[in-house]
Amino acid sequence: MPFDYYRIFYYVAKYKSFSRAAKALNNNQPNITRCMNIMENELGCKLFIRSHRGIQLTPEGEQLMEHVAIAIKHIASGNEELNEKKNLKSGTVSIGVSETALHLWLLPKLEKFHKTYPHIKLKISNHSTYQAMEALQKGLVNFAVITGPVSCNKPLQKQVLCSFHEILIGGPSFQEIASSPKRLRDLQDFPFISLMNHTATRNFYEKYFYDNHLIFSPDMEAATTNQVLSLVQHDLGLGFCPEEMAKDSILRNEIIKIPVEEPMDQREICLITDTSKPVSVADQKMIEIIMNKEV
């Protein structure tokens, strides 16, 4: 039985009139009557009692109406939800984010998106780079904004958003060694503070030291870059930090930039998406804002 027949039946039963049902459906009364006659013949029972006083449902018609009304309401509710999501009146955007990517790139993008689409919920999950990629592969987030360098295989796709530079910093007691550029090997005897193992940042530092024939073996580990900054401010050791995140503390003389002779590669902030999964309207709008360098 075509679904349209049940839809017509619903309106005839609702208005108890073929003519009013035809008007509601932008149809004509003879066609509505014909469809209901076909429906009754196929179901093998009468659904309506027709009289000069109008239309009444038979017991069979009443029973069918109970089920059809529920189905029609569910469909209407589904259409309404889809329209709300299409028009960005509801929905959720879930993003896996590394700490550095959040502070150096994502925060103003989130602000812009929230002001433009205030009805869309934002779910921001704080991850290391590798954790964010794993969450994306498992479908726990819609996409990821992370700190590189990082490589990924299909169906994951990487798009570089910006580059940034890391610097070596120390607390006030390290003022003397900041007076002139130092070689890495001359800093080996000083305590180092770093992010924990198995992070993209830690791997980046280890490669930097390895490329200069040294081993990076920090004396203290922290969970976040902000923690590294705090520990450095309290003279607990030297640490690397994105220059942009350190500049305010440097201006307040809370920490000191220590020049290093060996050049350090620039790092990247990347957008990682899963090309095998569909993208919602809200996700697409967020991605457009994230990729806009002017925001």
Tokens encoding 54: 């109008």
Are 258 and 186 spatial neighbours (Cβ–Cβ below 8 Å)?
Answer: no
| 172: preceding bond cis by omega (within 30 degrees) | no
Instruction: Give the residue from 295, 294, 275, 281 showing the smallest Cα distance to 93.
Output: 281
**Rounded mean pLDDT for each run of 10 residues along the chain, 295 residues in total:** 88 91 91 92 91 86 92 82 72 93 95 93 91 92 92 91 95 90 92 90 93 94 92 94 94 94 94 92 93 85
Cα–Cα distance between 229 and 241 in angstroms, integer? Answer: 8
Stretch (H or E) spanning 175: none
Cα–Cα distance between 25 and 208 in angstroms, integer? Answer: 71
Sign of the alpha-carbon torsion through 44, 45, 51, 54: negative
Exposure string of 144-163, with b = 16+ CB inside 10 Å and e = fewer, is bbbbbbbebeeebebeebee
Strands of the sheet with 238-242, listed across from one edge: 220-222, 192-195, 238-242, 166-170, 256-258
Q: Which pLDDT score is estimated for 197?
A: 87
Residues 6+ apart with CB under 8 A from 138: none
Q: Which pLDDT score is estimated for 194?
A: 94
Are 49 and 55 spatial neighbours (Cβ–Cβ below 8 Å)?
Answer: yes
Are 142 and 266 spatial neighbours (Cβ–Cβ below 8 Å)?
Answer: no
Each residue's pLDDT tens digit, 164-174? 999 999 999 99
Q: Which pLDDT score is estimated for 84?
A: 66
DSSP state of 47: -
Q: Which pLDDT score is estimated for 236?
A: 94
Are 135 and 144 spatial neighbours (Cβ–Cβ below 8 Å)?
Answer: yes
